[in-house]
Structure 1
Amino acid sequence: MVHNQPKPRVSIVICTYNRANLLQMTLDALPALAAREKAEILIVDNNSTDHTREITKSFALRQAGVMSVQYVFEQTQGLSAARNRGIQEAKGDIIAYLDDDAVPCLEWIRTIVDTFDHRPDVCAIGGKIRPRFESERPAWLISALELPYTIVDRGEAVHEYPINKHPFGANMAIRKSFHDTYLFPTDLGRKGTLLLSGEESWLFEQMKQERKKILYQPSMVVDHFIPDNRLTKDWIKRRYYYQGVTNGSMPKGFISKSVLLCNVACRLLYIAVDALFAHTEGKKLLIACRMQSIKGTLITMRSRVKMRLTG
């Protein structure tokens, strides 16, 4: 039995909201991980009303003296608020983020520690996210629609992310020293069942502006559960709409808004041309999803103008 555990190298932050049964699956996978003695586990309960607390307490009891497991309750609703609380509680110099419905590969912890140790110039890493469908993959789910489902495979070579790409929260790790300056913006990101996003893009944009290196590590793999209730055309169109809402809420000044409107005009032209060649079910859905994204952007921008005029 290990009673006086050394300071962890990695703090695994798992934020969860009313998904106790899926969380159980994730937690059950953790004791089998290699190098688990280098990690602590922080389960941040973001105001759940199900049996999340009981699941976590039971797991922590079973792992007592073997793994460091901490239950943290964060009442402020929102994924960003939950992650920020995890950062606040973390003791490791690396924060590894794992979704409450994701199962990491056996070498996940060791890969994270080794990568940061061998690459002191790297600030953050991300890896593969493989889908684990509840039943089966729908025929309309083409590769161009994979990103909203957080399906990520950038190949087998270690490389820096290109300027317009970054890791995803289901499988990413960041040096805690970066979070000393930058936390996740609480006006962005998922809140309860609201499908807002953008908090990770904002954070990695700050990282890129500071010329920090962000590395793709293909050996860092998780299997990510995708339930049947998300595998509908209505869900993915709603997901794109809220991506548009996120985009529309970001611009602050006149120039930023003008650039966004120009981008929207260009995208509309591109979609119109693309629609002429969209003959399959998947490609037609992609066109509809992109239109939903533009709709969300324009409605949000117009609403913000009205608020400013009347507020």
Structure 2
Amino acid sequence: MDLSVVICTYNGAGRIGQVLDGVRSQVHTESITWEVLVIDNNSQDHTKQVVEAYPKVRYVFEAQQGTAFARSRAVKEAQGQWIAFIDDDTVPDENWVAQAYQFTQTHPEIGAFGGQIHPEYEVEPPSGIGKIAPYLAIVERGSKPHRYDRVLPPGAGLVVRRQVWLDHMPEKLVLVGRTTATMLASEDIEAILHIQNSGHEIWYNPEMHLYHQIPKWRTEKSYLLKLIKGVGLARHQIRMTRWQAWQRPLITPIYLLNDLRKLMTHWVKFGRSQNLEVVCEQQLLLSSLVSPFYLRRLNLKE
């Protein structure tokens, strides 16, 4: 099979129907062999009933909480040579599948690629949301395809070569995704880094368009601070994944000192400003600083 479209969801009964409608409405797919697979990541609502109302959609239940576990299960279950991940709140453009498949044909040697993700806010977002948008998985990087280097695409809209994932992904990632127990984020970036570290390129395909449905509560200051805190607390693991094991003890103090310098500079410059962009940046810097200690304590508990 050419392509498996995978939607990982948790309590997505109120959202996933719109996504499945978008998938069902794809055009120019006559020459593509593809499937649709929903991984229900331990939902407690009626997600299963909503999904089963759609013919030709395969439903799989994954009880272990965390997006990383859902994606790992999807790779095992999928039949496609390429796996295209869509979040349960990202609606695909009608050409999304066709454009994803086309890119696999013109770039068959790469490991993974992502496209554009545009916001569709329920209400007008607050001032200063622009620089925070990447944390909401908004990706708009122009009209030309290019290879990613340091900045990587989010898991929403990621298309990955299945065999590359099977060959190079650890049995268990350190970051498993946000759960009821932890708010740690960036599990998708950790996975993509393992693909990149294996020597396979990660690309940007501007012809793939997703539309991220963002409700009012996800633009509120309290949620954004919690979201960015999770990104910061995961930062040490993301950084260390880029380095060899023997290099990590040497590079960690450098990161710590640099994070402390950045945080102190930011506080001196902005003080106790309540500007949304400022407080989010301070939260990211503070969480990044404590990230090594937080992750170590988390690992000791486990």
Q: Please, what TM-score do these two structures have when normalized by structure 2?
A: 0.87
**2:288 paired with 1:297:** yes
8 Å CA contact 1:105, 1:221 repeated in 2 = yes
- Aligned with 1:286 (options 261, 277, 288): 277
How far has the Cα of 1:287 moved from its partner?
2.2
Q: CA RMSD in A?
A: 2.6
Q: Which amino acid aligns with 2:164?
A: F
Query: Which residue in the other structure is 2:96 paired with?
Result: 108
Moved more, 10-19 or 248-257: 248-257
Query: Which residue in the other structure is 1:16 paired with?
Result: 9
- Aligned with 1:71 (options 59, 68, 76): 59
- Aligned with 2:81 (options 57, 80, 93): 93
Cα distance in 2 for partners of 1:298, 1:245 equals 8
Cα distance in 2 for partners of 1:306, 1:52 equals 35
Q: Which amino acid aligns with 2:113?
A: I
How far has the Cα of 1:306 moved from its partner?
6.4
**2:234 paired with 1:234:** no
**2:241 paired with 1:255:** no
> 1:270-285 residue pairs with structure 2 within 5 A?
270-272=265-267, 275=270, 284-285=275-276
| Higher Rg of the two aligned structures | 1
How far has the Cα of 1:274 moved from its partner?
5.3
Cα distance in 2 for partners of 1:274, 1:114 equals 48
* SS of equivalent residue, structure 1 residue 20: coil
8 Å CA contact 1:182, 1:203 repeated in 2 = no
Change (3 A) 1:120 1:296: same
How far has the Cα of 1:41 moved from its partner?
0.7
8 Å CA contact 2:81, 2:162 repeated in 1 = yes
Query: Which residue in the other structure is 1:268 paired with?
Result: 263
5+ residue gaps, structure 1:
1-7, 61-67
**2:26 paired with 1:41:** no
5+ residue gaps, structure 2:
none
8 Å CA contact 1:17, 1:192 repeated in 2 = no
Query: Which residue in the other structure is 2:144 paired with?
Result: 157
How far has the Cα of 1:69 moved from its partner?
1.6
8 Å CA contact 1:45, 1:52 repeated in 2 = yes
* Number of equivalences: 291
8 Å CA contact 2:122, 2:216 repeated in 1 = yes
Percent of paired sites with the same residue: 28
Cα distance in 2 for partners of 1:309, 1:136 equals 43
8 Å CA contact 2:169, 2:194 repeated in 1 = no
